[in-house]
Homo-oligomer: A and B are copies of this chain.
């Protein structure tokens, strides 16, 4: 039940390739906010930092470029992509459409094991929230929440849909936190919504499941004019 990434599970020795290493390292830098929008991505510098040559670095940057996380132009140095409010809105709208569809399909396909996994994930998220409070639970929450959504996407049994959700519609957590409602407002509602999605999946009710997922995502969707007064004046 606690298997994280060992799909085949035979041997985890598997010596990750240099481009896999580079890809995950750079992606992590961006998604966690260690590198911010506009930061320069110099191939030599990254190669030295990660300990491989420029070749795998270039391959990793190209993948991240295709996913929209970095911007590459010929002969120009790559930079971390900038996400405007409009970008965030667009991503959430597309996520809602595609993840709603995925949830609908998942409702009639998901296995009992996956349902239990979802319940366990949500239980841990809520426990950590109660124990650690609003801010300290965030790091663990992001990871667990990502798996919660990934399990549902996988249960839809549509490999291209799963891939699009995992690769093309990612948003750095820092950007998300910048544009969305503050964590105090959305945390309790998120947990209630997760429980409702789980209930709809258990009931194997595609329409309900889709609607619940849509409600969840649209509730997080930032709006251009209305809901940003809470932004702190500093910065």
Contacts and interface: CB of A to CB of B under 8 A. Distances in A.
Interface of A: 17, 55, 58-59, 62-63, 66, 68, 74, 90-91, 93-94, 97-98, 101, 158-161, 163-164, 167-169
Contact of A101 (B97, B158, B167): B97
B160 A90 contact: yes
28 contacts: A17-B74, A55-B55, A58-B59, A59-B59, A59-B62, A62-B62, A62-B63, A63-B66, A66-B66, A66-B167, A68-B160, A90-B158, A90-B159, A90-B160, A90-B161, A91-B160, A94-B98, A94-B160, A94-B161, A97-B97, A97-B98, A97-B101, A98-B98, A160-B168, A160-B169, A163-B168, A164-B168, A168-B168
Residue in A17, A74, A91 with the greatest tally of chain B CB atoms within 10 Å = A74
Contacts of A90: 158-161
Contacts of A163: 68, 168
A101 B94 CA distance: 9
Contacts of A62: 59, 62-63
A24 B98 CA distance: 29
Nearest to A159: B90
A141 to B, nearest CB: 25
Contacts of A169: 160
Contacts of A66: 63, 66, 167
Contacts of A93: 158
Contacts of A161: 90, 94
Residue in A90, A93, A94, A160 with the greatest tally of chain B CB atoms within 10 Å = A160
A61 to B, nearest CB: 11
A85 to B, nearest CB: 14
